[in-house]
Amino acid sequence: MKIKILSVLVMSALTMTGQAHAKTNTPYFEQTSQNIYQKIQNKLNDIKSLAENSNNIIVGEDKQRYIEINNTRYRLNSDNYLLFDFPSSFTDESSFRNVFDFIPPEWELTWNDLGVVIVNTQFGNYDYGNGCLIEYMPAATQLDADTRVIIETASCAWNSNLLPSHSPASLSLLEATHDTATLTWDKVEKADLYKIYRDGMMVAQSSATKSLTFKDISLSSETRYSYQIEACNQYGCAEEKSATLAVETLPTPEVIPNTPPPPSLINNGTRTNIVNWNITSGATHYQVFRNGEIIADDLTDVSFVDTAATGVTQNTQYQYAVAACNDTGCSVPSQTADVHTSAMDKLAINVKNIDPNTNSVGVNIRSQYTSNQIFSENKSYSKKGIYDYGRGIYFSQNDGGKYWVQINRQPTNGQICQSDSHNYKRTQGQNVVAVLDCLTPATLTSLVPQQITLHPTQTDFYLSMPLLHRVADGKEIITSSYIMTSSNEKVVTISKNGKLIPQAEGESIITVQANPEYYDVATPITYTVRINAHQQSVVLQNVEIGQSTLLSPRSEHQIIAPKAKTMVRAYLYAQDASDTTMPAVNMTLSANGQTMTTAMTCPTEAKVGLFDAPSYDRAETCYSIIDEQTARTFIDNNMVMNISTDTGLSMTTMPKVNIHSTLNLKLVPGYNDRSQALAPDIDAFSDTIKQAYPLSTVNISVRESVETPSVLNQSLDIVEKIRKLETDGLSYFYGLVPGGCYGTIGLAFVGGTSAVGRDASCSPYLRSVFVHELGHNFGLNHAPGCGKTSSEAFWHSDAWEGVDLGKHSPSPLFDRTNNNVISPKDPSIHSDSDVMNYCIGDRFTQYNYSKLARHINAKSWFSNTTTNLLQTAEPTLMISGEIVDGKVWIDPVIMSDNAMYEDNGTSNSTFTILINTTDGAVMYPVHFNEIDHSDKKTFSLQIPASAHINAIKMFDGEHEVTIEIKGLKEQKTKAIDQSPRTNTVELSGSEVIWNHVKYPWLTVVHIKADGSRQALSINATGGSVDLSGYDLTLGTLSFSLSNGISSVMKTEQL
């Protein structure tokens, strides 16, 4: 029963009537009501909790249970809910508010059936079932067991007596011009603001506390507009807008435009300034002034490019102003703005459409540096963007300085880039942009079936990507830049790396397209994927392949070397124990036009139930070992692998296989006055490399011993010089240095091709030290773990447990020596973490292994060929040195007729070196070699030889740095009291003598009959060198004579 007294009924009537016209604010109503509702619920729960303690209960003479709240007793029902007795006065809210003391006064509380109805007097109503109220009903057992409170907010609305009763009836025009209209109106009671509508669209709202006028601007002249106004406050707006007021703007007056603000200026080169300004009302055209004189008239645009054609010159200050004009006349010129032309033009490189999954595009940039000097620099770009070249171009004449951006190395993945500046251009006195566009027309083909059936439990299957070929010549492009979509994600989804994830039985079309940002491909490839929960007793769950870590084919880090021993595993399980008989399982490989099928070795009985973790037991899965002889044919790029059973199960995939896989390695044993390096075991080196690296062929040779200091960084410098003198840049050199097996036991150029480490007297010299340092040569940085940290994002990811410590993933490892499967925690690999940290382990994690594979694929010298033996090449100058305390120390320059090698520097710097020769002056960039464990700033560059170097200068930015030739002062001092035994250089028996007064340093290289090279002496001093320990019966001796900054070469046939 619901009872309302007259006052309640009156309020309810007012509320219900008002709702017909009130404006709603639903979020406010709901939030306000919900807050009160929640507080009531919390209060009742607190009372119930108190009532559960018998100490808080009072049993009255009527045998009823009571609880006391704020000194007032209230009855409780059997569920410990509070009961309100009928109040002595129906309008008395005290007993309710004694309990619910948090309810604000604008809420009305009314007794009903031992409970209370709570209604907001401003926006509530009593329309039960579709109302705006809160009701506490202690006897309502039909409600949820945890509550006796209901809330209704469906019809909450402001009461109409809170709103403005009408909109202004006095809207009128105060003033109209050709582009403005000013309106005015009378104040409306209860209105806090007014909304102004033009042609039915609200254009503004005006606060009633400020002004009862509104000025509408930017109107069109001689145009009719309709205005209305609406009175509003915080509760809403009046029911109707005002009557419409029609306003017509006046014709545009024939007046001169206002003076515009000063222009904004951009200097765009030595003889180009860009002048920009804003539109001026009433202007039809503009004038531009430079230094007070008109240089352009009748301009309809709001931008003007001032060039050499109108007299702009380099390195000069200019003032610009703008005047606004129409048929009546022109304004006074604006205030001036200043700009200074640059002394040199700037070059930017706009790299477009390059695939971020390839290494980079290499370019040679030449830019005019002075009137007779050209700066030449090789740069590479691996990401799209506009790059500031950073070096100015000299303004030599009216059409500017010369520059070119010529591609000298295409991306190794097969993408083709084109430069719009491959021949010399001139800047025309302005900043220029050279475009490198790598968008490559291509076609897609698939080598695997385009009908794929998966069991719902096959959750680790990766789609084999189609092949991408260039349209121009059909050459394959290696990329992972594909866009993949599923037509029915309720059946199967596909991840960004191609993983198919079954969702439910059914069929979906997977569309694969090469990323159109990098490749122009007309037709995508589609695959039909069916998810079918077949009822066969044994299910093929997953396949693994690997040469180090065993991974699902095509997974993120899966990649193997071509032509190398490989393990393949197939995980099959029985769906239940009723039938566990393992079917016959075959592996079929197709590559190079040939196909091979072999039976896999399997357990007799299949494991019951899914594999929920990798298996480290070879006998628990089916497996095949692809030996090296078979691998030479079938483990190749574009190999297709199929795993099938005699029960009809089948899985076809294309594992990722590298293209390159050959390492040429020269071992350099060292000796010093204390000891001789132990002879290296070539077979051990080869086996270790093949196990740790994605390489299948290792060509190892051992050089004759060379004297090396026990200090590793000095030995590294010697090995690097030997490498440059003896190889064409396709071989890695590793020095074996005798010394203590403690502290730093290895050093390498990161991204270079030379490294050194302790010899075999240091027990981990091969499995950990050599593998670690060669990893630096291949571009790897330190991994975290055992004291090391790393800034690489991957090591801070959640790829697997322990990745932040450089730990291996749970994936099984292939032990190629024993053809076995081992756990990443197996003690035989000495540590369960990456070899690039300091835990002295043997293996790379799958993350670093895949990085190594990408590095190998990106370098042409890892192709499956042996080192080229070149007897002679165009002479070059080897310039190397280091920076110590701001001073440059340069080793004596050596001339060599060995082939040019790739720049060994990996770190960009602000340093440049100027070589002033009889042929002219050329400036080269200086890149510092990055050495692990060392902050030394060393550099090394090889440049085309010149007849004579007059001077070498080095700059850090624009600042010239002091240079000194190592040992030059000492050699000059020694030469004072000595006379040369010959004018230049001679071979007398086994002794070489030379004019050490003119040329203090001598380097001797023996070019043998087979084309191989051996450095016999590097920067020897004193005037003679004994070569009696060498076999000099055949070949040629090459002598490099150096005075420190210049070098000449002589040869003698043996």
The answer to whether residues 563 and 632 belong to one domain is: yes
Q: Does residue 279 lie in a domain region?
A: yes
Domain harbouring 236, CATH code: 2.60.40.10
Q: Does residue 484 lie within any of the structural domains?
A: yes
Q: Are residues 631 and 544 in the same domain?
A: yes
For the chain, the average pLDDT equals 89
Give the pLDDT confidence of 648-696 residue by residue, as tens digits.
999 999 999 999 999 999 999 999 888 999 999 999 999 999 999 999 9
CA distance 172 to 193: 17
830 and 925 inside one domain: no
Same domain, 423 and 410: yes
Look at residue 1026 in the predicted model and tell me its pLDDT. 92
Alpha carbon distance 810, 615 (integer Å):
10
Domain for residue 296, yes or no?
yes
Same-domain check for residues 323 and 371: no
Biggest alpha carbon–alpha carbon distance for the chain? 135
β-pair partners for 755: 734, 748
Q: In the predicted model, what is the mean pLDDT of residues 273-292?
A: 96
- Give the end of a domain, one of 215, 248, 281: 248
Which tokens belong to 1039?
Answer: 């002598």
Q: Are residues 573 and 639 in the same domain?
A: yes
- 634 near 589, Cβ under 8 Å? yes
Domain assignment present for 255: no
Q: What is the pLDDT of residue 233?
A: 84
pLDDT of residue 491: 96
Q: For residues 447 and 252, which has the higher predicted lDDT (pLDDT)?
A: 447
pLDDT at site 384: 93
Q: What is the pLDDT of residues 835-855, one digit of tens each?
A: 999 999 999 999 999 999 999
Of the candidates 915, 944, 967, which is a domain's last residue?
A: 967
pLDDT digits (tens, 9 = 90+) for 982-1031: 888 999 888 999 999 999 999 999 998 888 889 999 999 999 999 988 88
Lowest-pLDDT range of 474-478, 516-520, 905-909, 938-942? 905-909
The closest of 695, 592, 570 to 639, measured between CA atoms, is 592
Cα–Cα distance measured from residue 1013 to residue 718, given in angstroms and rounded to the nearest whole number: 16
| Tens digit of each residue's pLDDT (9 = 90 or more) over 749-789 | 998 899 999 999 999 999 999 999 999 999 999 999 998 88
| Best CA proximity match to 614, nearest among 809, 854, 357 | 809
| pLDDT tens digits, one per residue of 250-262 | 998 778 999 999 9
Last residue of a domain, one of 161, 192, 207: 161
Is 548 a member of any domain?
Answer: yes
Asked if the structure places residue 354 within a domain, the reply is yes
Residue 709 clears pLDDT 70, i.e. is over it: yes
pLDDT attached to residue 876: 84
Listed in sequence order, the DSSP H helices in 693-809 are: 712-726, 771-777
In percent, the amount of the chain with pLDDT more than 70 equals: 94
CATH number, domain of 713, equals 3.40.390
- Report the candidate in 558, 561, 766 with the shortest Cα–Cα distance to residue 663: 561
* Torsion angle (degrees, nearest 10) of CA 951, 954, 960, 961: -110
Please report the pLDDT score of residue 1010 as a whole number. Answer: 84
* pLDDT the model gives residue 8: 37
Q: Any idea what the CATH number is for the domain that residue 977 is in?
A: 2.60.40
Q: How confident is the model at residue 210 (pLDDT cuts 50, 70, 90)?
A: low
Q: How many Cβ atoms from other residues are within 10 Å of residue 30's Cβ?
A: 15
Instruction: Look at the alpha carbons of 901, 905, 909, 914 in this order and tell me if their dihedral is positive or negative.
Output: negative
The answer to whether the CB of 314 falls within 8 A of the CB of 304 is no
Amino acid 4: pLDDT: 35
Please state the rounded mean pLDDT for residues 132-161: 85
What is the rounded distance in angstroms from the CA atom of residue 283 to the CA atom of residue 178?
14
Same domain, yes or no, for 144 and 173?
no
Of 514-518, 554-558, 875-879, the poorest mean pLDDT is in 875-879
751 within a domain of the structure (yes/no): yes
Lowest-confidence segment of 371-375, 432-436, 579-583 by average pLDDT: 371-375
Q: At 165, list the tokens.
A: 């009763």
- Domain co-membership, 757 together with 821: yes
Q: 534 and 635: one domain? A: yes
What is the tens place of the pLDDT at every residue in 673-686?
A: 889 999 999 999 99
**Count of Cβ atoms closer than 10 Å to residue 1040 Cβ:** 28
pLDDT at 978 over 80: no
- Asked whether residue 989 is assigned to any structural domain, the reply reads yes
Tell me the two tokens of residue 132: 């705006």
| Statement to judge: residues 699 and 810 lie in one domain | yes
pLDDT at 527: 96
Answer yes or no: do 782 and 688 share one domain: yes
Residues 6 or more apart in contact with residue 510 via CB below 8 angstroms: 463, 484, 485, 486, 487, 492, 494, 500, 526, 527, 528, 529
- Provide the pairing of β-strand 519-521 with 440-445: parallel
Contact 55, 68 (CB under 8 A): no
CA atoms within 13 A on the CB side of 851: 19
CB atoms inside a 10 Å sphere around CB 978: 11
- The reported pLDDT for the residue numbered 900 is 57
What is 558-613 written as a DSSP string? --B-TTS-EEEEEEEEESSTT--BPPPEEEEEEETTEEEEEEPB--SBPEES---S
The residue segments making up the domain with residue 415 are 344-438
Average pLDDT in the 704-717 region?
91
Tokens linked to 541: 């769950």
- Structural domain count, the chain: 8
Q: Do 620 and 646 fall into the same domain?
A: yes
Share of the chain above pLDDT 90, in %: 67
Taking the alpha carbons at both ends of the chain, their separation in whole angstroms is 125
For the cut 90, the answer to whether the pLDDT of residue 926 exceeds it is: no
